[in-house]
Chain A
Amino acid sequence: MEIYPPKNAVKFLRWFCREDYVEEIEGDLTEIFEKDYKVSQRKASWKFIFSVIKYFRPGFIKSFKSDYQPNHQAMFRHNLLLTYRNFKRYKSSFLINLIGLSTGLACTFLIYLWVSDELNVDRFNSKDNRLFRAMEHRVRATGIWTSPTTPGPLAEALTGDMPEVEHAITATWSQSTTLSLGDKNITTDGRFVGKDFFNMFSYELIAGDANQVLKDKNSIVISDVLARKLFNTTENLIGKAIDYQHESQLQITGIFKSMPVNASDQFEFVASFEKYREGEDWLLSWGNTGTQTLVLLKPGVDVNAFNKKIADYIKVKTNNEITYRTLFLKGYADNYLYGKYENGVLVGGRITYVKLFSIIAVFILLIACINFMNLSTARASRRVKEVGIKKAIGAGRKALIFQYIGESMVMSFLSLLVAMVLVYIFLSQFNIITGKHLSFELDSNRILLFLGVTVFTGIVAGSYPALYLSGFNPATVLKGKLSSSFGELMARKGLVVFQFAISVLFIVSVVVVYKQIEFVQSTNLGYNKNNLVYFNLSGALSKTENQEIMIEEMKKIPGIENVSSTNHNLTGHNGGTSGVEWEGKNPEDRTEFERMIGNYDLIETLGIQMAEGRSFSRNFGTDSSAIIFNQKGIDFMGMKDPIGKVVKLWGEDRHIIGVVNDFHYESLHENFKPVFFILDPNRTYRIMARITAGKEKETISSIESLYKKLNPGFLFEYNFLDTVYQSQYENEQRVAILSKYFAGLAILISCLGLFGLAAFTAERRLKEMGIRKVLGSSELGIVYLLSSDFTKIVFVAIVIALPISYFMARYWLDGFAFSVPLQPWYFIAVGVLAMVIAWLTVGTQAIRAARVNPTLCLKNE
């Protein structure tokens, strides 16, 4: 009878015991066990187990370090050498990988620089987390409108009523201003702010004390840059006087260092808000808004709780008179990225673009990684013998994985170097496109991030080949059998499909964005934006009689077709009022009508078409009490036959003399809104003139000399309406240009990968092609044979990508109230384009294979 000691105990013993002891110990234990077994089976077993456990102690446990102690340094050198030889031997795949990975990395780094810069805008303030801007949600008939303008008395009231508030100030937005010192006139941007401005913001004062500089009504604090422009120095300027708008003198009380470029508010001087308040009675009312209120909360105050507290502050302050305005505080720096409200709900803003480009960066890098994976696995057949032999002489799987990951690491670090050079070269170009001042300074964070991304890329790119190659069974591969399983082929094809789908997606985006921009530029705005010059009236010209003289004089200039004055610039919301009342108006309705205050000829100068009635005319003496609406305004009021009807504007009767066609005064993101025109030259401060095409230069210089004559001491600054109009779509333009480049890169990298795969397939099937040719196959047949596979793959990619791209395009275009219709040919064209590019890539290789001389390729085995 055969008897065996307890199996598990033996297993355990064999597992832990030193190899040189295990034979003796197991033998002795078994012998004892056999003897004991005759007495009692149970006892023998227990004794055996017990004894085995007793051996489980340091003297007998084997060292679990592998006996095989590789020489790491030598292995490392060996791997490097193999990597180097591989790169040298397969130059084309090396180049494809290098180009792909380095452009991928360069893209990622550029986008990273841009994203991190975007995220840091306005974050330079040391009290950033306590710094807020007061905003208002205003309920209107068309929905909730969110505005950064707040009433004038708010800041003082908040400081007085709310113990949570450390400082609160009223401030204006930056505006162009003429400062002068003697004969020297400088036009620069500046703003009026409350006295605690420098206690709240981290603008560094070179001279002056933060508590004192804005105390006096006539004080002004200028930037060092402005100081150098005016005085050529920044020393000893305190107490010096400069002329403000040739109206009054301001005393310099401090000098601040120019703000960082990533501040959203850029200005060269600040003056006391008390100065601005002079004579501006509207600032005393809670009903009027027009300035901003900046708030610094005390440390530890929860802003959400505070917002609840101040929500109906305006209602309380106006004794329930104004009930539709909800006050809240918003992080000062948050506004830059999260500035878009829809119906009172935050819906994003620039953050959308930040996210979009981050995703693009990841995808481009991924496409480059896929190239590496595909080429490495496709070329695996060349290396199976290497793997087989290595395994046969004892290389563990781990060592092989290490080798291949190492190889891709070397690749990605080489790419890192190339990428750094690329970033360095293209950074200035990238800055121009994005309108940024990015610099390529390496601090420890960036170095860590770049290294991290590189290592990550190396691992992602190398993981699949490493696992795949190291998994070969040495016995079969050395026999020369390597059949790619169905799964592997699918994986490789799937990766190509993914690459091409992404590329197609990018191309469709570019087409749609470009089409939309073209649409924006060519669409009929309802007025003629070309050759329309405008300039603001300041100084002596802000007086109405001088303004009239200016207009009259300008009419005499030969190149000017028409001229008028207005309060509006036609590129965005300028000022609205809910003060229009008509018969049947819902008293709860507070919809604001855009107000266009103008002089005679305004509608004609702009080229807005009349739908009904007439425009303002000097032939009628009563036009100062007339009003003109746009079509939307009339529709909104629900009027029929509006001409001659009377509406109330700010309590005064005005009769409707005309209706103009709707026109776009805001960007095409916005729908048409109600607008009215009134005639009131006293309240216009901007002259608009239509210039004859081709005579811009001489006409502008004539206007300039006229301006200087009538308004000495001020610089003539003018704008063309169409350039300002373009700037409304700056974001879209940038997205368009950037996505053009990124789409180009994506398709380039994808094609490189496809090229590599095609070249490889052609090379491997060279003998097959030779035999086919010998047997009479035509060149065309071979080309077809080789390219049909890839055609299918790319076709699948296109089929997958087009619907996705359609929904993305739809979503983006929905952000515009007026958008170009999505036409099927955009998608078809992109699909065909992708297909053609793929064919060209594969075709070159297929033709090369088809042209092969069969005697050459079949000659040697």
Chain B
Amino acid sequence: MIQHTLGEFEELVLLMVAALHDEAYGVVILENLEEKLDRKVNISAVHVALKRLTDKGFLKSRYGGITTDRGGRRKKYYSVTALGKRMLDEQYSLRTSLYKQIPKISFS
């Protein structure tokens, strides 16, 4: 199996999708990211990340119901796959284990 890697922004998007759980679609992800990161993010960047994550198999998507909002366009909801969850877990454990190795000294 190819060892997939995650870019920083991709990881954030993946985390966000996981956090939003079943309610994640482009605009919500964008808004939450902007709120958490406290900076402007372009929707196209989010879409690029979403496509890549889907291609890597970390995300799956489904269409929402038809509404009159959004010019009649359906929402595309993303959710994390088992592989994506494992990836997040691995990342998390990697980071915490590394974090724990930091000697308890003060940084000045």
A interface residues (Cβ-Cβ under 8 A, vs B)? 4-5, 21, 23-32, 34, 51, 54-55, 59-60
CB <8 Å contact, A23 and B74: yes
Are the C-beta atoms of B43 and A51 separated by less than 8 Å?
yes
Instruction: Let me know if B44 and A31 touch, CB within 8 A.
Output: no
Decide if B30 is an interface residue (CB 8 Å cutoff).
yes
Q: Are B27 and A32 in contact (CB under 8 A)?
A: yes
With A28-B47, A51-B43 already in contact, the answer to whether A23 and B71 are too (CB < 8 A) is: no
The 10 closest A-B CB pairs, nearest first, are A27-B73, A28-B26, A24-B76, A54-B44, A30-B71, A27-B70, A31-B27, A30-B70, A31-B70, A28-B27
Tell me the interface secondary structure of chain A in the complex.
Answer: helix
Of all chain A residues, which has the CB nearest B44? Answer: A54
Is B44 touching A26 in the complex (CB atoms < 8 A)?
Answer: no
- Give the B interface residue count (CB, 8 A): 18
Closest residue on chain B to residue A18 by CB atoms: B51
Nearest B residue to A28 by beta-carbon distance?
B26
A51 touches B71 (CB 8 A): no
Contact with A along B50-73 (1 / 0, CB 8 A): 010000000000010000011101
Residue in contact with B43 in the complex, picked from A4, A21, A28, CB distance below 8 Å: A28
B interface vs A, CB < 8 Å? 25-27, 30, 42-44, 47-48, 51, 63, 69-71, 73-76
- Bound complex: CA A690 to CA B27 (Å): 117
A-B contacts, 26 listed (Cβ < 8 Å): A4-B71, A5-B71, A21-B51, A23-B63, A23-B74, A24-B47, A25-B26, A26-B71, A26-B73, A27-B26, A27-B75, A27-B76, A28-B25, A28-B26, A28-B30, A28-B47, A28-B70, A31-B26, A31-B27, A31-B69, A31-B70, A32-B27, A34-B69, A34-B70, A51-B44, A55-B44
Q: Which residue of A lies closest to B75 (CB)?
A: A27
The listed residue with most B CB atoms (<10 A of its CB), out of A5, A21, A29, A31, is: A31
Inside 8 A of B43's CB, which chain A residues have their CB? 28-29, 32, 51
**Other 5 A-B pairs with CB < 8 A, given A24-B26, A26-B73:** A24-B74, A24-B76, A27-B70, A31-B69, A55-B44
Q: Select which of B30, B44, B47, B73 is within 8 A of A23 by beta carbon.
A: B73
Residues of A near B71 (CB, < 8 A) are 4-5, 26-27, 30
Q: Report chain A residues within 8 Å CB of B74.
A: 23-24, 27
Distance between Cα atoms of A28 and B30 in the complex (Å): 10
Q: Tell me the bound Cα distance from A24 to B43 in angstroms.
A: 11
User: Chain A's nearest CB lies how many Å from the CB of B34?
Assistant: 11
A residues near B30, Cβ cutoff 8 Å: 28, 32
Chain B residue with the shortest CB-CB distance to A24: B76
Q: How far is the CA of A4 from the CA of B70 in the complex (A)?
A: 10
- Which among B63, B73, B74 has the greatest number of chain A C-beta atoms within 10 A? B73
Q: How far is the CB of A161 from chain B (nearest CB, A)?
A: 86
Shortest CB–CB separation between residue A501 and chain B, in angstroms? Answer: 63
Contacts of B76 in A (CB 8 A): 23-24, 27
Q: Tell me, in angstroms, the Cα distance from A17 to B40 when the chains sit together.
A: 24
Q: Complex: how many Å from CA A730 to CA B35?
A: 102
Hey, which chain B residues are within 8 Å of A30, CB to CB? 70-71, 73
For B25, the chain A residues whose CB sits under 8 A away are: 24, 28
Distance of A710 from chain B, by nearest CB (Å): 112
Give the chain A neighbours of B73 by CB distance below 8 A: 23-24, 26-27, 30
Max chain B CB contacts within 10 Å: which of A21, A28, A32, A60?
A: A28
- Kindly provide the distance from the CB of A336 to the nearest chain B CB, expressed in whole angstroms: 75
Minimum CB–CB distance from A32 to chain B (whole Å) comes to 6
A121 to B70, CA, bound (A): 81
Distance to closest chain B CB from A574 (angstroms): 97
* Alpha-carbon distance A25/B26, docked complex (angstroms): 8
| B104 CB → nearest A CB, Å | 45
A746–B75 Cα gap in the complex (Å)? 71
User: In the complex, A24 Cα to B69 Cα: how many Å?
Assistant: 13
Most buried by A among B25, B44, B51, B73: B44
Given the complex of chains A and B, what is the CA–CA distance between A860 and B62 in angstroms?
59
Q: Report the Cα distance A24→B70, complex, angstroms.
A: 10
Shortest distance from the beta carbon of B68 to any chain A beta carbon, whole Å: 10
Kindly list chain A residues whose C-beta atoms are within 8 Å of the C-beta of B75: 24, 27
* Complex alpha-carbon distance, A30 and B68, angstroms: 12
Task: Give B64's nearest chain A residue, CB to CB.
Answer: A27
Complex contacts, A28 vs chain B, CB 8 Å: 25-27, 30, 43, 47, 70
Question: Contact at A25–B47, with CB atoms within 8 Å?
Answer: yes
Task: Chain B residues near A31: list those with CB within 8 A.
Answer: 26-27, 69-70
**Interchain nearest-CB distance for A464 vs B (Å):** 46
Most B CB contacts (10 A, CB to CB) among A27, A30, A54 go to A27
Contacts of A29 in B (CB 8 A): 43
Separation of A23 and B67 alpha carbons in the complex (Å): 13
A20 to chain B, nearest CB (A): 10
CA–CA, A5 and B72, complex, Å: 13
- Asked if B27 and A51 sit within 8 Å, CB to CB, the answer is no
Bound-complex Cα distance A24 to B42 (A): 15
In the complex, what's the smallest C-beta–C-beta distance from A575 to chain B, in angstroms? 98
Alpha-carbon distance A4/B72, docked complex (angstroms): 11
Q: Chain A contacts of B70 at CB under 8 A?
A: 27-28, 30-31, 34
CB distance from A563 to the nearest CB of B (A): 111
- Tell me the bound Cα distance from A328 to B76 in angstroms: 90
Q: How far apart are B35's CB and chain A's nearest CB, in angstroms?
A: 14
B33 CB, nearest partner CB in chain A, Å: 13
Closest CB in chain A relative to B53 CB, distance in Å: 13
- Using Cβ atoms and an 8 Å threshold, which residues of chain A touch B51? 21, 59
Q: Is A54 within 8 A of B27, CB to CB?
A: no
User: Cα distance A32–B51 when bound, in Å?
Assistant: 19
Which residues on the B side are within 8 Å of A21 (C-beta)? 47, 51
CA distance A24 to B50 in the complex (A): 11
List the B side residues contacting A26 at CB < 8 Å: 71, 73
A616 to B38, CA, bound (A): 132
Closest B residue to A54 by CB, please name it. B44
CB-CB < 8 A to A32: which residues of B?
A: 27, 30, 43
CA distance A54 to B41 in the complex (A): 13
User: Which of chain B's residues have a CB closer than 8 A to the CB of A59?
Assistant: 48, 51
A60 to B75, CA, bound (A): 18
Residue of B nearest to A4 (CB): B71
**Least CB separation from A56: chain B residue:** B44
Contacting pair A51 B42 (CB below 8 A): yes
Closest to A3 in B: B71
Point out the residues of chain A lying under 8 angstroms from B47, CB to CB: 21, 24-25, 28, 55, 60
Least CB distance, B86 to chain A, in whole angstroms: 26
Residues of B with C-beta under 8 A to A54: 42, 44
Distance in angstroms between the alpha carbons of A5 and B71 in the assembled complex: 9
**Cα–Cα distance between A31 and B63 once the two chains are bound (Å):** 16
In the bound assembly, the distance between CA atoms of A307 and B84 in angstroms comes to 92
Q: How far is the CA of A234 from the CA of B42 in the complex (A)?
A: 95
- A10's nearest neighbour on chain B, judged by CB, is B71
Chain A: which residue is nearest B73 at the CB level? A27
Q: Tell me the bound Cα distance from A79 to B3 in angstroms.
A: 50
Residue of A nearest to B71 (CB): A30
CA gap between A60 and B74 in the complex, in Å: 18
Bound CA span A26–B73, Å = 7
Give the shortest distance, in Å, between B20 (CB) and chain A (any CB): 14
Min CB–CB distance A60 → chain B (angstroms): 8
B55 CB → nearest A CB, Å: 10
Complex CA–CA separation, A21 to B73 (angstroms): 11
What is the CB-to-nearest-CB distance from B54 to chain A, in angstroms, rounded to a whole number? 11
Bound-state Cα–Cα, A583 to B85, Å: 130
Question: Which residue of A has the minimal Cβ distance to B69?
Answer: A31
Which residues of chain B come closer than 8 Å to A4, judged between CB atoms? Answer: 71
Query: Please, how many angstroms separate the alpha-carbon atoms of A26 and B70 in the complex?
Result: 8
Of B25, B27, B42, B69, most A-chain CB atoms within 10 Å? B27
